[in-house]
Amino acid sequence: MSKRFSHIISEKFWSHVSDEEQQRLFSLFIIITLAQFTAVANLVYKLFFYSGNSCFVCNAGLVAIMILAGVFCLRGKINSILYTAFTIPLFIYAYYISDFNDHPPLIETTYYSLWWLLGGLLVLIYFAESESLITTYSIISLFTLGFQLLKANRLFDSFSFYEPYVTHPLLIFVAFYGITIGLRLKAKRLTHRFTEKLTVINHGISKVFQESGFSIVQIKAERDEDDNIINLWIEKVNNAFESSFKLNLYEVQNQEAGYVFNLIFRNHFDVNKTLLLNKKKTKEFYAKNLERYFKAYILKPEFNRFYIIFEDITRMKLKVAELEENKRRYKVLLEAIPDIFFVIDKEGTYEDFVIKESDLFKIEDANIIGNTIYDVGFPDNMADKIYACIQTSLKTNSIETIEYSLNTHNGTFMFEMRLAKLTSHSVISIARDITRRKTTEFKLERALSKAEESDRLKSAFLANLSHEIRTPLNIITNFTRMMAEPDIEQQERMELSDAISQNGQQLLNMIDNTIHLSRIETEAVEVHVDFCKINNLLRDIYNKYRPLIPDTKDIRINMNLDVPNPAFGFETDAKLLREVLSILVDNAIKYSIKGDVSLGYEMILNEAVQFYVSDNGIGIPEDETENIFSRFYRIKNNINETTSGSGLGLPIAQHYVSLLGSELELKSVSGQGTRFWFTLPFREGKGFLKIVS
């Protein structure tokens, strides 16, 4: 409130003087106002309430002097105000010495006079600029006190009347004057000394201000009565500012800061927001119209003064941008390389790394940086080996190579690590993921082994092919010639006919299997899905193979149809299905001496159809179940030793089943029989309802 009142009074009456003068005038205004209130109260009291002898002229004169001092104060005349202090001895004479008023004995009012005179002396010492004015007032005050003591006959008996002697009014005034004037002179000397130092400092600051390579602006804040900043004015700028922004001092001095900065930076720098709202002491911005980057430093050395230092950081920004671009380019290059780069110190602690991002293998900084090779998942023996290689590389400047596996949450990975000396206390580790390579090598080894075995079997097949073909052809040729003889008996003729038929069928099967294998290897087998009547297909196979059962074997072939409806069927490749079932039935008959061969199917929840072929033949040994689907492979048994075959039937059947969308499975007991089955989806099925009795 006092600040607001001071601001109002100063703006109204003292706007033409400096801030320091305004503060002095306001202080005097407060003192004069209090003194004037006291004088008016004294006048009113003496007029209406005091019954003794009172000097109206004295009381009115005191009020008039205070009014005159107030007028001088409002006009800003400090010296005129101070001259009114010289009326204090006059009023002391009027109130305490003369006979104009009723007053106590002179000796009793001496100290009243002393306090009045000391009060005036304090005002002069605080506000007067000249010591001569203070000295003149002090002499008049001493004369007034001496006259009062002389008139009271107490001037020369001070040693007997005043006990102790230091309470003598003249001595008190002289001591007070001496002390205060001495302090004033010392304060002036100190002020002068500090002023000189401040002048030197300001000169140095001004020199730095003008000669600085940075653009500097000095801004003055204009405040309202509540000390809120209402405007910012530019006081001065330095030479670098003029050179950088092509503006002279006379063009911007005493101009609004917002206007000047908008003119320079085109609304890219808000000086009001920067100085008044932004708590940070620095601000970076880009002046698009100048195509330059700036960093502004905010200084506030005084309450109403700001300095803004502009640093042109365009070159630095461009350099940083270039470095960032180079860093990004090299990082992209490093990430494009399928290697992981680590920097490891001599103690085995990871300092940095670059890794190509992957969905299968992810590493976070927190999991690597700052950890040692003993903390990231290496077994102790592997970590010890890596540590030893680090020491060797640092000591001999060699390149060390290690292959290792690393377990992660995404699986186990194989790496090849190469360690090379980077600095005297660190190495660079280049780890390449060789998981695929190792997996491929393993697969290649298996494929090579399998290919070699297949090639061996194929070679054996080709080597025996002429024998396998020649045997049935010789039988057919010789038996045909024998049947042409006229004296052969009918029974013998029938046996020869059966032998010719069996060997012819065997030869046809061998040729068919070879053709099927050729189509499979050239990927020429196509799946043609269409509606297939299952019962008709199984009946055709049954009718084909039932007459082909040799009379020498006690075998019965059975057909089991789970759904007897002739219209029963679903969408599949009928040709491939026929080939699979034919191969399985042919094998069942071939490897059975007696018993039953069953061909059939079963519905599974109206969602799938399971086909099966079972027999009571010689069965398959358990250790041979993995080999029977290998091409050209034939199990060593009595039947294979006495009959010819290519070893291609089951591999072909397995491939065709996979093309149909299923898998050929088997269950076999050596000496008791074998069951093959596979399950096909019942797509677009018809006629599958059956009556359950």
- Residue 630 DSSP symbol: S
Tell me if the pTM is above 0.75.
Answer: no
pLDDT at 405 over 80: no
pLDDT above 90 as % of the chain: 5
Q: How confident is the prediction for the chain on average, in pLDDT?
A: 79
Q: Is the pLDDT of residue 70 over 80?
A: yes
Residue 379 confidence (pLDDT): 77
Predicted local distance difference test score (pLDDT) of residue 539: 92
Q: Which of 419, 292, 256, 402 is nearest to 344 (CA)?
A: 419
For the chain, how are helix, strand and coil distributed in percent, rounded to 5? 55, 20, 25
Q: What is Dmax (Cα atoms) for the chain?
A: 199
Structural contact between residues 515 and 554, judged by C-beta atoms closer than 8 angstroms = no
Instruction: Give the phi and the psi of residue 454 in degrees, each rounded to 5.
Output: -65, -40
Find the mean pLDDT for residues 548-567. 83
Instruction: Look at residue 514 in the predicted model and tell me its pLDDT.
Output: 65
pLDDT at position 159, please?
43
Q: What is the pLDDT of residues 440-458, one digit of tens each?
A: 877 888 877 777 766 665 6
Beta-carbon contacts of residue 214 (< 8 Å; ≥ 6 apart): 240, 309, 310, 311
Interval 194-212 mean pLDDT: 83
Give the residue-averaged pLDDT of 421-436: 82
| Sign of the dihedral through C-alpha 30, 35, 38, 40 | negative
Mind listing the pLDDT tens digit for each residue in 18-36? 777 888 888 888 888 898 8
> Greater confidence, 412 or 172?
172
User: What is residue 526's DSSP assignment?
Assistant: -
Residues 6+ apart with CB under 8 A from 435: 412, 413, 414, 415
Q: With cut-offs at 50, 70 and 90, classify the pLDDT of residue 338.
A: low
Query: Strands 292-302 and 305-312: what pairing?
Result: antiparallel
Per-residue pLDDT at 666 exceeds 70: yes
CB 499 within 8 A of CB 613: no
pLDDT of residue 1: 46
pLDDT of residue 611: 94
Structural contact between residues 404 and 429, judged by C-beta atoms closer than 8 angstroms: no
3-state secondary structure 432-443: EECHHHHHHHHH
User: Residue 693 has what pLDDT?
Assistant: 46
Q: What is the pLDDT of residues 45-68, one digit of tens each?
A: 877 877 666 777 777 888 888 888
Residues in the chain: 693
pLDDT band of 509, cuts 50, 70, 90 = low
Mean of the pLDDT values across residues 232-251? 88
**CA–CA separation, 560 and 345 (whole Å):** 76
**Please, are residues 602 and 659 in contact by the beta-carbon 8 Å criterion?**
no
Residue-wise pLDDT for 86-135, tens only, equals: 888 888 887 778 776 666 777 778 888 888 888 888 888 888 888 888 88
Please name every residue paired with 563 in a beta bridge, in sequence order, or none if there are none: none
pLDDT band at 553 (very low <50, low <70, confident <90, very high): confident
Say how far apart CA 75 and CA 608 lie, in whole Å: 115
